[in-house]
Amino acid sequence: MEFFATCAAGFEHLLAEELSDLGIRHVRPLKGQVAFEGTQADAYKACLWSHLASRVVAVLGRVDAHNADTLYAGLADIAWEEQLGRGTPFSIDAHGTNAQLRNTQFVALRSKDAVVDRIAAKTGVRPQTDPSGRGLQIVVRISRDRATVGIDLVGEPLFRRGYEASRSSQPKLPPLRADYAAALLMMGGWHRLCQQEGAALVAPYVGAGALAVEAAQIALGMAPGLLRQRWGFAAWAQHDSAAWDRLLAEAQQHVSEQTSVRLLLSDTRPGFDVATRQALRAAGIAIEPLFFGGKDTPPLSAEHALLACDLSWVDQDALAAKGATLARLAQVTEALGAQDTAAVLTLDELPDMVLQEPEGVVHTLLGRDEATLRLYQDPASHDMARVSIPNAGEANVLLDTSEQFAKRLAKVYKQRRKWASREDVSCYRIYDADLPDYAASIDLFEGSLTPGRWLQIYEYAPPKGIDETKAQARLLDIVSLAPRILGVKPEDTFVRVRTKARGGSQYADEAQRLDRRRPGRGRPGRTPLPPGAHLIDEGGLTFEVNFQTRLDCGIFLDHRDTRAMLREMAKETKGSKRFLNLFAYTGTGTCYAADGGARYTTTVDLSAPSLEWAQRNMERNGFSGPEHEYVQADVLAWVTEQRHTKNRWDLVFCDVPTFSNSRRMRKASFDVQRDHTELLIGVSRLLTRDGVCVFSCNLRTFKIDVEGLAKAGVVAQDITADTIPEDFSRNPRIHHCYLIRRG
């Protein structure tokens, strides 16, 4: 008979090798599957023993699938009455399309009609269908103008082993599918290594236990299919129950009760030990794993050890976690010493920087993400650089030049901390590309009301021509070293990448991508705090920050002194004391003006989430009521409209984005260098006779159009030097600031 076993993309050659080791002949790896020939017993053996196959299908034939009619005719020619027992329900599992058959649901429906009509014509009884797949499952796979038709011998996919069922009460850990765990082990040669006396599996990130269970099953000679309660072939009229019973008995007798294999397991995520023990017990495995702490090295020096590491769970954007996992991988690799093989499942190539060049790479997919299985021989031969951290011991780094960065950061932090304590500043910049190669900024935030310390790291986009891998290695070293030097937990370190100059619609379009769910109602008199948000203090006021949802966390630290100046200007304002905040973002400037005595405030921004954030900031500081209004509008269009009203303001704060091209804007785009003259002329017309506008932008090459403004009767006074805080003094071009008045 002819069969094929399906598998995850990239596993075809590993599966072919596995099937050959089971004694199955005529094995041919194809795309996404492995074809083989043999008896039903051979197919049953693949079902019972394969760690890598997803399904095993018995091929009944191939038919013309040029269109729906030829597909129907071809299926109707198959003797389904010999495959489907009387009273047995069935379902169709359709895959693939072509020019005429473009919908798999239609293919399944047409195939079902052919089977039902054939059996009804031959037996006089119409069979029942069962969409749940509990009966006989017929497979129809279309490729070009042909369809392969067969019987699914498995039912539920083979990678659902059965031991996963016990994990419902376990802590939420990103699961590693059993076949991926097995592929990782097989690529590392575990099926040969575990036969050696005292062999050990070392897994620094064991997760929910799939790696441990698959490794133990291979070591004990336990067929992974022994745990399954139901098989697809049980509903097949051609099922050879005698052959299956014989194979099942042999598999049960094959299980070894003891092994000298050791499982040395670790993880930095809580609950991994409970999850692993439960998975092992559910699989009927009595091996007691040895757990070593997330900061410890495995208590082992073995000649026969495999380092297997799943890094696929690390979010590609979570560089703090990625840097920590690579450092951990290096630490464990160095501790093993004599171990000579490592296998890693990863979404990128960064493990190469720790373990040297891989000797083998298997490309696969995890969901929609591209991933690789990477095999390293003698990975301990690659020595990582070690950096001495003041008051924190030593750390592994990817680049030896990172020691200079560590020393610089520690020195600057010591100076900044003294300054911050003296000035009563709790959130400040510590580092800003002090070393050109380490082009990033590092801001430290300390919480109010509830304790907390967070780091916000911005990587400046490297110039073209810089080696991308080396640049990423520098960033990972920054992310790995900074939390330790500054006393912040790695999970409280957040990384963003800043592009140069033109940032798109900086906040408006970014806000459209956010979760638009509103924060829940808090207790009466209390302002709710959205998920992931924290509270910080500045200038005696409380502000909400969020390091997870936006490019910027909700407050620009370089405007600390500018905000303080707004408060003093509001105190000195006479008359109606009306304040206007344009491009307001989260309304921090409005809070300062209100704290300085502004009686009426108007906060304008294109982003609804930003305005809600601004209102929470105001309410949290005690400023609420109808005298404080929030306007969602295109600022340029709104300013033009207000010029035709009687509305005028005594004090205006206008901190513009560098560039914006939101679809909700009236103009195609806003460019601060191109459009600031028109904007400021319009804003000046909204000022009272003695009114003043504080205008700011962060385009480093910005040049204000003094002459153009003067022609329109607008005076601009450069006050940039007076608005640069001490912690930004290294970079006086962090922003430009002007006072705008009517001439």
344-378 per-position pLDDT tens digit: 999 988 888 788 889 999 999 999 999 999 999 88
pLDDT for 425 equals 97
298-324 per-position pLDDT tens digit: 766 556 889 999 999 887 656 667 777
Phi (first) and psi of residue 506, to 5 degrees: -55, -45
Fold agreement between 163-221+256-381 and 511-519+527-742: yes
pLDDT for 550 equals 73
* Greater pLDDT, 445 or 197: 445
Instruction: Quickly tell me which residue has 């590392």 as its tokens.
Output: 188
State the Cα–Cα distance between residues 628 and 635, nearest whole angstrom: 18
State the Cα–Cα distance between residues 581 and 593, nearest whole angstrom: 9
pLDDT (mean) for 468-487: 87
DSSP 645: S
Residue 576 has pLDDT above 50, yes or no: yes
Residue 295 has pLDDT above 80, yes or no: no
Amino acid occupying residue 395: A
Residue 525 has pLDDT above 70, yes or no: no
* Greater pLDDT, 134 or 140: 140
pLDDT (mean) for 582-587: 97
pLDDT (mean) for 174-191: 95
Average pLDDT, the chain: 89
Yes or no: say if 542 and 621 are a contact pair by the CB < 8 Å rule.
yes
pLDDT (mean) for 266-282: 91
pLDDT (mean) for 583-601: 97
pLDDT for 68 equals 97
- Ordered by start, the domain boundaries in the chain are 2-152, 163-221+256-381, 385-500, 511-519+527-742
Band (pLDDT 50/70/90 cuts) for residue 255 is very high
Residue 500 has pLDDT above 90, yes or no: no
337-352 per-position pLDDT tens digit: 655 799 999 998 888 8
529-547 per-position pLDDT tens digit: 898 899 999 999 999 999 9
Contacts of 372 (CB under 8 A, 6+ apart): 345, 346, 349, 361, 362, 363, 364
Domain 511-519+527-742 CATH class label: alpha beta
Torsional class of 10: left (φ above 0), alpha (ψ -120 to 50), beta (otherwise): left
pLDDT for 395 equals 79
pLDDT (mean) for 291-295: 75
pLDDT for 693 equals 98
Contacts of 411 (CB under 8 A, 6+ apart): none
* Greater pLDDT, 333 or 635: 635
pLDDT (mean) for 197-215: 93
426-460 per-position pLDDT tens digit: 999 999 999 999 999 999 999 987 789 999 999 88
pLDDT for 670 equals 86
Instruction: Quickly list H helices, 443-587.
Output: 468-486, 508-512, 560-572
Burial of 680 (0-12, 13-18, 19+ CB in 10 A): buried
Of 523, 596, 601, the closest CA to residue 564 belongs to 596
Instruction: Convert 294-313 into a string of H (helix), E (strand) and C (coil).
Output: CCCCCCCCCCCEEEEEECCC
Topology (CATH level 3) of domain 163-221+256-381: Rossmann fold (3.40.50)
pLDDT for 469 equals 75
Band (pLDDT 50/70/90 cuts) for residue 51 is very high
Residue 166 has pLDDT above 90, yes or no: no
pLDDT (mean) for 212-223: 97
pLDDT (mean) for 712-727: 97
Residue 260 has pLDDT above 60, yes or no: yes
Contacts of 422 (CB under 8 A, 6+ apart): none
pLDDT (mean) for 603-632: 96
The domain over range 2-152 is classified in CATH as 3.30.2130.30: yes
* Other beta carbons within 10 Å of 240: 16
pLDDT (mean) for 658-683: 84
pLDDT for 338 equals 53
Residue 495 has pLDDT above 50, yes or no: yes
384-423 per-position pLDDT tens digit: 677 888 776 787 788 889 999 999 999 999 999 999 999 9
pLDDT for 294 equals 62
Phi (first) and psi of residue 156, to 5 degrees: -65, 140
pLDDT for 520 equals 35
- Would you tell me which CATH number, out of the four given (3.30.70.980, 3.40.50.720, 3.20.20.150, 3.30.750.80), belongs to the domain 385-500? 3.30.750.80
State the Cα–Cα distance between residues 507 and 613, nearest whole angstrom: 13
pLDDT for 514 equals 39
Q: What 3-state DSSP class applies to 553?
A: coil
